[in-house]
């Protein structure tokens, strides 16, 4: 798990994960999130992400531990960027390796749902009418809460 300002190379991360797996996994699922150029009807010219070093990493490690407790995962990679990001830039990468496809798909979606609601980040959108701090939406919370039972 890494927090970085620099962009990541999905192919390099995929290749490194596959090398670590050494044939143990039957499935790897990848998700790469990209900064959108809109928020509803508002245009977005950029996104600024802040984090609290140590606390943010701990919140993500907790999410990964929850995923590992629910599914038989072999390895996970989470890279989340911080700082100023422009539309169409990559913001997050999640790779999940498991013996079987259902565990890999479910765990990847679970990790993303929890990253949106439980990971400690502060996000500010740059809009034509002024900057706006944003948080998890009702839809984000609903998706996260759909993973019942939640162990807190």
Closest CA to 107 of 56, 53, 50, 66: 66
CATH number at residue 21: 3.90.1170.40
Number of domains the chain is built from:
1
Is residue 150 a part of any domain in this protein?
no
Dist CA 127 CA 85 (whole Å): 13
Is residue 58 a part of any domain in this protein?
yes
Dist CA 80 CA 115 (whole Å): 10
User: According to the model, what pLDDT value does residue 151 have?
Assistant: 55
Is residue 151 a part of any domain in this protein?
no
User: According to the model, what pLDDT value does residue 39 have?
Assistant: 76
Is residue 77 a part of any domain in this protein?
yes
Residue 96, strand partner residues: 29, 76
Could you tell me how many helices (H) and strands (E) the chain has, helices first? Answer: 4, 10
Is residue 133 a part of any domain in this protein?
yes
Which residues does the chain have with pLDDT short of 50? none
Is residue 34 a part of any domain in this protein?
yes
Residue numbers of the domain that contains 9: 2-145
């Amino acid at each position: 798990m890494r927090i970085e300002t620099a962009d990541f190379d999905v192919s390099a991360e995929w290749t490194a994960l596959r090398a670590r797996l050494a044939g143990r996994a039957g499935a790897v699922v990848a998700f790469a999130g990209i900064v959108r150029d809109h928020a509803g009807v508002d245009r977005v010219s950029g996104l600024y992400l802040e984090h609290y070093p140590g606390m943010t990493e701990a919140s993500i490690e907790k999410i990964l531990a929850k995923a590992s407790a629910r599914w038989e995962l072999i390895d996970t990679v989470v890279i989340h960027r911080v700082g100023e990001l422009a539309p169409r830039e990559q913001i997050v990468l999640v790779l999940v390796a498991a013996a079987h496809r259902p565990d890999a798909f479910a765990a990847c979606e679970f990790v993303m749902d929890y990253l949106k609601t439980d990971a400690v980040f502060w996000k500010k959108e740059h809009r034509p009418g002024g900057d706006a701090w944003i948080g998890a939406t009702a839809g984000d919370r609903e998706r996260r809460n759909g993973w019942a039972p939640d162990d807190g």
